[in-house]
Amino acid sequence: MKKQLLFLGLGGVLLASCAQDDSVRYVDPGQPGRVAGTGIESQDLAAAAQKAAQSIVNLPAIANAVRPPVILITPVTNRSASPVDATLYTTKLRGALMQYSPDKARFLARDASWNTNQQEQGLRQAGAVADGGTAASGRQGATYDYILTAELQGISTATGKGQSDYFLIAFKLVNYQDLLIWENQYEIKKEGREAGVYR
Amino acid sequence: MSLLSACATSGYKSASGTDIDAKVYTDAQRRVVDEKIPEPLRADFTALYSEGQQNSVLHSMHGGLTALRMGEYGIAKRLFDGAIRDVEALQAGSAQARRAAGNFVGDREKWFKGESYERSALYFYRGLLYLQDHDYGNAAACFKRSELEDITGDDAPGFSGDWYSDELGLALASWFNGYPADADAALRRAAKYQSIQGQVPPPTARTNTLLVVEVGIGPIKYAAGRYREQLRFHEDTPATVSVRAEPPGASSLSAAAENLYFQATTRGTRQVDYILNGKANFKEGTGVAAAALALGAVAVADSQRGRRHNDTAGLASGALALAAIGAAITSSLTTPEADTRAWNNLPHSIFLLNLTLPASTVSVTVSGLDAGGRVTQSIAVPLNNGKPLRIGYVYLNN
């Protein structure tokens, strides 16, 4: 009987070894991942956006404004040697700013609504849909008081001995008269080396 | 016996030469159908889903390029992005990499990340797709990263980061991104590269159409050396040496912007070459030791022939024989063979034709020319309506 159990046990192990590893785990997106490279990653993005948001909401022009200013966040300009998801970056930055300044600033979200609103306006004007709800009958999009820009620059090197990436993320808050209200920079430097069998 | 065959094999082998479990293979095939993967890509996706991380980059590269040539740009981007993620992740596959560096595990068992020229090509093609989407910042980033992937050994210092096509792509992306100084700098760098194949008209601020013409078959990997420990490349030279585009009212003649065989063979000595050479030496050393021990065993046995009851000599002979067997087994288990897995649908050459065409132009005729100026092939390439930059792709098989 013991032999049979042992036999079955071995079979179980063998069968289990055939199955694919489907294990999934939740990880903190703000922490370095296990499969990190030297490029820009989610935690870099999150950290820079967080710091920028904290700094911006403390600006006198924002914190002391009588009327909450409207800010347009432009897509990140990438001049580095690391492709980035510009949309994700913009969304993260806007989310962080909203978190820190729900009542101190308002944000234009043309990326999210412009096309749909324009289409709806066309339908209203054509009489295809009725005015109603809480929306005004005519559409006039809001303009902004400030533009928030982000530019990613970098210096990258790679040799057979390893690779290195330095990134500078520069945020600028510019008003409607092209005056620079605020600028802040965040630096990231990473070095890494691939295993010898890949070099 | 039935338990040992519990992992029923599908009859298919992975690119690394290992058997693929039947259930895993069937599930992969089902998933490919469920996801409505286009027929020409099903083999790549089935391999991708059934061979795990060991070969995911390989199949993503191959499938990505097939998808790009089919015009399935969404799939191409998805596959290339997956491959880039795995190539970039330095720790990914580190345990397998350590195993592969050992004497008894083949180099082809490591997670495939490609040779330098394959990694450069990966970023180059992804850069083209970003250009097509008018995402010039990320396009430029990809062309820069492609150059960074072109690393060389200390014995080939003049050939690192010398992809001419990357600089052309970077120049084009920089023009459209509003950085003319970056475009000029890229073209100045390119002019100094040893990889230049001939006269290639560069992009200008007026370029509004890019034709990407791929020609022939890329570098073919093979293993050479006594123990197949040396990675070598075979060149399948295509007849086409230049390409001409004939849009209405204009024509453009260009040499190749990139020769992938040149890039593959100017890599210099790799770190892994030292590892494989060490394995080969180990295999040879243990093989020689086995032969010497076997001879010793025979000699001892011979010297005692005709004598009776000499236990010491018998034991010595037996021990030598056992040691010989051990050394022979060790030698036979040592696997110094070079990894010849390859992104095998890469072209031999890539031509980039930068054109300025009226918006009304709907197609361009592309002709390949041999060394004597004779037309090898001629294909009409449809152009999309993308503004401000249109991109057309064409593949010439010779």
Other beta carbons within 10 Å of B71: 11
Query: Tens digit of pLDDT for each residue in B68-79?
Result: 999 999 999 999
Query: Tens digit of pLDDT for each residue in A145-191?
Result: 999 999 999 998 888 778 888 999 999 999 999 999 999 999 989 88
pLDDT over 70 at B321, yes or no: yes
| Cα–Cα distance, B163 to B303 (Å, whole number) | 67
Most confident of A92-101, B38-47, B203-212, B246-255: B38-47
Q: How far apart, in Å, are the Cα atoms of B211 and each of B145, B359, B365, B398?
A: 22, 15, 10, 17
pLDDT at position B336, please? 83
Query: Tens digit of pLDDT for each residue in A58-86?
Result: 889 888 888 999 999 888 899 999 998 88
Average pLDDT over residues B294-308: 73
| Residues within 8 A of A (CB atoms), B 136-195 only | 137-138, 140-142, 144-145, 148-149, 151-154, 160, 179
DSSP letter string over chain A? -HHHHHHHHHHHHHHHHHS---------TTS--TT--SS--HHHHHHHHHHHHHHHHTSHHHHT-SSPPEEEEPPPEEESSS---HHHHHHHHHHHHHHH-TTT-EEE-HHHHHHHHHHHHHHHHTTSS---TTS-SS------SEEEEEEEEEEEEEETTEEEEEEEEEEEEEETTS-EEEEEEEEEEEEE---GGG-
Q: Do A196 and B179 touch (CB under 8 A)?
A: no
CATH number of the domain at A39-126+141-193, out of 3.40.50.920, 3.10.28.10, 3.30.2300.10, 3.30.70.100? Answer: 3.30.2300.10
Average pLDDT over residues B351-376: 93
In single-letter form, the type of residue at position B306 comes to: G
pLDDT category of residue B309 using cuts at 50, 70 and 90 = low
| Cα–Cα distance, B178 to B176 (Å, whole number) | 5
Average pLDDT over residues B102-127: 89
> So where are chain B's domains?
274-333
> So where are chain A's domains?
39-126+141-193
Average pLDDT over residues A115-139: 77
Contacts of B97 in chain A (CB under 8 A): 195-198
Q: Do B3 and A34 touch (CB under 8 A)?
A: no
Most confident of A79-88, B13-22, B107-116: B13-22
pLDDT at position B274, please? 73
Contacts of A195 in chain B (CB under 8 A): 93-94, 97-98, 101, 110
- Disruptive mutation site among A77, A79, A194 for chain B (greatest number of B CBs within 10 Å): A194
State percent of chain B over pLDDT 90.
Answer: 61
Query: How distant is the Cα of A107 from the closest Cα of chain B, in angstroms?
Result: 24
Q: Answer whether B4 touches A (CB < 8 Å).
A: yes
Query: Tens digit of pLDDT for each residue in B186-197?
Result: 999 999 999 999
Query: Tens digit of pLDDT for each residue in B236-270?
Result: 999 999 999 988 666 789 999 999 999 999 988 87
Q: Among B30-39, B301-310, B354-363, B368-377, which stretch is predicted with the lowest mean pLDDT?
A: B301-310
pLDDT over 70 at B328, yes or no: yes
Contacts of B179 in chain A (CB under 8 A): 79
pLDDT over 70 at B344, yes or no: yes
Q: How far apart, in Å, are the Cα atoms of B292 and each of A60, A103, B100, B336?
A: 86, 85, 29, 22
**A:B CB pairs within 8 Å:** 110
